[in-house]
Structure 1
Amino acid sequence: MRQKHVPQRTCVGCRQVKDKRTLIRVLRSTTGEIEVDATGKKGGRGAYLCPKRTCWEIALRQRRLDHALRTRLTDAEMARLEEFAQTLPVAGEGED
């Protein structure tokens, strides 16, 4: 039997290819708003990040999210995303 296709995406922070389900999607909506898309189904341009604080810090510090979302993040948007990143575990915590 054929195996079911599992969608893959690349983390903007660490550049590793992983299952889409395991990543968190950041979205630039059609109105230009930046938000974390918990469902992964909202319309707009998306970028994916691992659920690890280090990936988020790299993506924000090196402005990789700006490039992936094809926009320039404002200071307020950066602060909101950094705040979200603080709720995530540091790389290595809770991993096998």
Structure 2
Amino acid sequence: MKPNYRRCISCRKVGLKQDFWRIVRVFPSGKVQLDEGMGRSAYICPQATCLQAANKKNRLGRSLQASVPETLYQTLWQRLAPSHHQNQISG
């Protein structure tokens, strides 16, 4: 099977699908959620810079053609926190 490549909506970096977070606008409800579901998807690097830019410039909303709830951004920031914290300790 050939690898699935995706592009970050913030930094435009191309990488393997599993290296990104997936945000989905579920069909037909239009609800925006993380990781699973059928519908329009957007991918973002699990990095603070990408998340910040996506939030500030509404890149997720534009990409998904839907309004992204603030709670979804908060969840992504929480996901980012443990790995970000580890980097600060070891670095």
TM-score normalized by the length of structure 1 = 0.75
Aligned residues: 82
Gaps in structure 1 of 5+ consecutive residues: none
Work out the CA distance in 2 between the residues paired with 1:66 and 1:82.
Answer: 11
Gaps in structure 2 of 5+ consecutive residues: none
Shift in Å at residue 56 of structure 1? 1.3
Work out the CA distance in 2 between the residues paired with 1:53 and 1:36.
Answer: 17
Residue type at the aligned position of 1:22: D
Work out the CA distance in 2 between the residues paired with 1:66 and 1:16.
Answer: 19
TM-score normalized by the length of structure 2 = 0.78
- Match among 45, 54, 58 for residue 59 of structure 1: 54
Whether contact under 8 Å (1:9, 1:19) holds in the other structure is yes
